[in-house]
A and B are shown apart, each in its own frame.
Chain A
Amino acid sequence: MVRITTDQYLQAYDRIKHESLEGNCIIFVAPDVDAICCCKILQSLLKQDIIQHKIVPVAGYQDLERAHTMLVEKDKQLRTIIMINCGGLVDLAEYFPDADDVTFYVIDSHRPLNLDNIVSSSNVCVFDDDSETEKMNDLIKVYEELIYDNVNDEQENDETVEDDHTTDSEDDEGPPRQRRRLNNDQDDRYHKELKLQEYYESMFHANSSSGQMYHLATQLSRANQDLLWLAMVGVTSQFIFERINTTRYMDYVNRFSDEVAIFQARDPETPTPSKKAEDAIQCEDEYRFMLFRHWSLYDSMYHSSYVASKLGVWREYGQKRLNNMFAKMGFSLQQCHQIYTHMDMDLKNILRNKIETVAPLYGLTDICFPSFSRSYGWKYSLSASDVVYALATLLETSPSAAAVLGESMAFHHDQEWDSLDDKSDDHPDDLGSERRRWWMRNFYITYDSLNSIDDIRRGIGLCMKMQKAIVRQGTSIIDKKTTRTLKTFRMVLIKDGPDLPLFQHPLTLSKLALFLTDAYREHGKRNLPFVISSLDEHHDSYLVVANSAAATFGDVKKNHFGHAFQKASMDTKARTSFDSFETSVLQIHKNDLEHFLEQLLLS
């Protein structure tokens, strides 16, 4: 049982170190940007202590089960299992039975955390942060009481049966008293269960795992610029994919900018401010345009979901507005179509001021948010959000999608990459997906690219093409009015189109969903959640992703769809597969989709 907060991270790490003397250590990593950054930070800490460990990428619960049969059961020397961004939502004892001498450490940004992990099992240690401590303690108490109540009830029931037999004379008094006691207990229990149900109902994200891992690194006094950069990338990824809200993000930013200042002060050889040191991190405000340093200003504004949705650039009217905005800022269109690095220097200098004055006139408030950027010598300068986009694209692009976009995913021309294809397509109801084959390869490409700046640039190139495709698809959806607005949510089915192979990964679909949600928020009547499904022709199944609607940018609303999906799936007995670690993603057989969606509507 433990739910540890920041001050106890150090003890947990010491324990890991101690147990590694005799035992093995396995790290399960989920395939998303935050998890990969966290894993890298953790690895650097472990390597400095020369702790032997093993990394196993897992994409879903099936992988966890397989890993259990192949790795955990057989290894008698296993002492530590660390789970990054996976396993926080489920009871680990279910997936890893008989793992009694193994300690689990769960670092997961998904919430709500499964209380079984915290309360019942004795060898699970969940990393959490301080902000939720009170609420969690309450819930833990409630949960414990419920469990003990159940136990007590059984004992009481036995006793009451005996009482009934022995004390016949007190018959009149006995039953009413017991009944009254039972009533009170039942009320109590009902309230407690209601509370727990509320807790488990919605899914959201909390503190980033790489942020937590960086905390641990500072406690061990091993923080350096590289680790700080990884933590920044992880936190920014959460902000960009709208998983944490602005206040939380600002907390992190403040803390990280303090760290940057510390590192700069610590380094006495830093030359005068006019010369930047290699690999230096700066605090810089970032615009909400995607990748604008690597694209032309016009393209970047056109394709970023913030600007695109606010101005409505899929229509002629919107494009005119965009052009007007440039004109107001005093930028010639020709300049804006140039790649950013080739734009005139004086324009770049005044860009910031102009945007801040002109953009609010078009409804683009909050166009800047504080972020960080890193310079790699004199050649490149990347911002944290650039890196996030690049990594996310590298994770989610299948080789066929890359072919559609005109690029290849075989970065290093190693023949060995093919061997990382996962050929195991076994799944009941034939709901396996194309994704199974290349996700591990992409995981390692992303992992390796954190060391190589060139790979990140390729990722950026890929991301630009991908974003164009997403905007194309989004525009066509809006134009053709294929969205059905139902009572509680909006729905889109993507069945065909040239870009269909691109939308086979939940990440891409969520990006599209975010784009459409923003668009409809600005130009539709109501602010409703979005449910997108895309067809996997090869396997005759649909990949469904649900997005909850936030009231404004930078705000996050909890996602109720996980629960709703499960219920609808059970009610309609649809052939579904809830494999991913995100509860709002599922795969469903083609024929069952309609019923499922109808059922979803009713719930």
Chain B
Amino acid sequence: MASLGESSYKLAKEAKRTADLLVSPYNDDLVQSISREIRMLHTKAETILRSMRDNQDVAMDNDERKSQLAQLVLHHTAIKHNKRVLFAYHRQRTDKLKELSWDVGRQGEYQREIKSALGPQEHRFLEQYGEMVATYKQSFLEIDLGGNGGVGLVPPKDLFIEVRVLKDIGEIHTEYGVLNLIKGNQYYVRRADVESLIRAGYLKHVS
């Protein structure tokens, strides 16, 4: 036991460092070593407790008693500290995964990278959470709750937008008339008419 709390310090540092990244690889080693540390501290605390219980009848020095109590307190707080770090680390990761499920959905560009960076329990979490989100969204198909690269819940600022045509689409019928979309043209049209085409990649929004 080199020093108490060294691994948890490392894990906390890593969590802070990777706070901005998408998902970093699951640091299984550190987690395991911290868990081992917790177990070791726990067994130590148990032995001290047993020895205290056994020696209850025998009169003991005050000092000895104090030192045993101090050891107990130390071990207990160390265990709590480690637990707290582990919780924080896992919580940060699952929050990121939740965000991903809402915003990006099942089809993201980095699906494979993300999946390879998760631990086994996180995999399961992502799948099940993703299913929950999908079932929830099913009931509100008309409202775009974000995800799939759509606009989401941010209201648009303008009625008309400028778009540029990247691939020949041909004619589309809108409420207010027909638009003939030919490659290379730039249009100033209603947002509602062209949003789906922007999402599909045929048009490009020009700001």
**Chain A interface residues (CB < 8 Å from chain B):** 24, 43, 46-47, 50-57, 70-71, 74-75, 77, 414, 416, 419-420, 422, 440, 444, 447-448, 451
Q: How far is the CB of B42 from chain A (nearest CB, A)?
A: 54
CB of B184 within 8 A of CB of A50, answer no
CB of A55 within 8 A of CB of B178, answer no
A448 with B184, Cβ < 8 A, contacts A24-B177, A52-B189, A77-B177 known: no
7 cross-chain CB contacts under 8 A: A50-B159, A50-B160, A56-B184, A56-B185, A70-B182, A420-B184, A447-B186
Contact code string B156-199 (vs A, CB < 8 Å = 1, else 0) = 00011000101100010000011010111111111000000000
CB of B186 within 8 A of CB of A419, answer no
Q: Hey, which chain B residues are within 8 Å of A70, CB to CB?
A: 180, 182
A71–B189 Cα gap in the complex (Å)?
16
Cβ of B206 within 8 Å of any chain A Cβ, yes or no, is yes
Q: What is the interface residue range for chain B against chain A?
A: 20 to 34
Q: How far is the CB of B102 from chain A (nearest CB, A)?
A: 27
A43–B164 Cα gap in the complex (Å)?
14
A219–B98 Cα gap in the complex (Å)?
55
Q: Which of B178, B182, B184 contacts A77 (CB 8 A)?
A: B178
Q: Which residue of B lies closest to A72 (CB)?
A: B180
Q: Hey, which chain B residues are within 8 Å of A43, CB to CB?
A: 188
Q: How far is the CB of B155 from chain A (nearest CB, A)?
A: 18
Cβ of B204 within 8 Å of any chain A Cβ, yes or no, is yes
CB of B180 within 8 A of CB of A416, answer no
CB of B186 within 8 A of CB of A47, answer no
CB of A46 within 8 A of CB of B184, answer no
A47–B158 Cα gap in the complex (Å)?
11
A47 with B188, Cβ < 8 A, contacts A24-B177, A52-B160, A77-B177 known: yes
CB of A420 within 8 A of CB of B185, answer no
Q: Which of A52, A420, A451 contacts B188 (CB 8 A)?
A: A52
CB of B180 within 8 A of CB of A420, answer no
A275–B183 Cα gap in the complex (Å)?
46
Contact code string B136-169 (vs A, CB < 8 Å = 1, else 0) = 0000000000000000000000011000101100
Q: How far is the CB of B88 from chain A (nearest CB, A)?
A: 37
CB of B186 within 8 A of CB of A416, answer no
Q: Hey, which chain B residues are within 8 Å of A444, CB to CB?
A: 164, 186
| A24-B177, A70-B180 given; 4 more Cβ-contact pairs under 8 Å | A56-B182, A56-B184, A414-B204, A420-B166
CB of B185 within 8 A of CB of A55, answer yes
CB of B184 within 8 A of CB of A54, answer no
**Chain B interface residues (CB < 8 Å from chain A):** 159-160, 164, 166-167, 171, 177-178, 180, 182-190, 204, 206-207
Q: Which residue of A lies closest to B189 (CB)?
A: A52
A416–B204 Cα gap in the complex (Å)?
8
CB of B183 within 8 A of CB of A420, answer yes
Q: Which residue of B lies closest to A76 (CB)?
A: B178
A53 with B178, Cβ < 8 A, contacts A47-B160, A420-B183, A448-B206 known: no
Q: Hey, which chain B residues are within 8 Å of A56, CB to CB?
A: 182, 184-185
A24–B178 Cα gap in the complex (Å)?
9
CB of B180 within 8 A of CB of A75, answer yes
Q: How far is the CB of B112 from chain A (nearest CB, A)?
A: 20
CB of B180 within 8 A of CB of A74, answer yes
Q: Which residue of A lies closest to B181 (CB)?
A: A54
Q: Which residue of B lies closest to A440 (CB)?
A: B184
CB of A46 within 8 A of CB of B178, answer no
A416–B183 Cα gap in the complex (Å)?
12
Q: Which residue of B lies closest to A417 (CB)?
A: B166
What are the 4 A-B residue pairs with the smallest beta carbon separation, nearest first? A55-B186, A419-B166, A440-B184, A416-B166
Q: Hey, which chain A residues are within 8 Å of B189, CB to CB?
A: 52
Q: Hey, which chain B residues are within 8 Å of A46, CB to CB?
A: 188
A70–B180 Cα gap in the complex (Å)?
9
Q: Which residue of A lies closest to B177 (CB)?
A: A77
Q: How far is the CB of B169 from chain A (nearest CB, A)?
A: 12
Q: Hey, which chain A residues are within 8 Å of B180, CB to CB?
A: 70-71, 74-75
Q: Hey, which chain A residues are within 8 Å of B204, CB to CB?
A: 414, 416
Q: Hey, which chain A residues are within 8 Å of B159, CB to CB?
A: 50
Q: How far is the CB of A276 from chain B (nearest CB, A)?
A: 27
Q: Which residue of A lies closest to B186 (CB)?
A: A55
Q: How far is the CB of B207 from chain A (nearest CB, A)?
A: 8
Q: Which of B185, B206, B207 contacts A54 (CB 8 A)?
A: B185
CB of B185 within 8 A of CB of A53, answer no
Q: Hey, which chain A residues are within 8 Å of B171, CB to CB?
A: 74
Q: Hey, which chain A residues are within 8 Å of B177, CB to CB?
A: 24, 77
Q: Hey, which chain B residues are within 8 Å of A422, CB to CB?
A: 184
Q: Hey, which chain B residues are within 8 Å of A24, CB to CB?
A: 177
A338–B108 Cα gap in the complex (Å)?
50
A70–B185 Cα gap in the complex (Å)?
12
Q: Hey, which chain B residues are within 8 Å of A57, CB to CB?
A: 184
A75–B171 Cα gap in the complex (Å)?
10
In this complex, the member of B164, B184, B187, B204 whose beta carbon has the largest number of chain A beta carbons within 10 angstroms is B184
A47–B159 Cα gap in the complex (Å)?
11
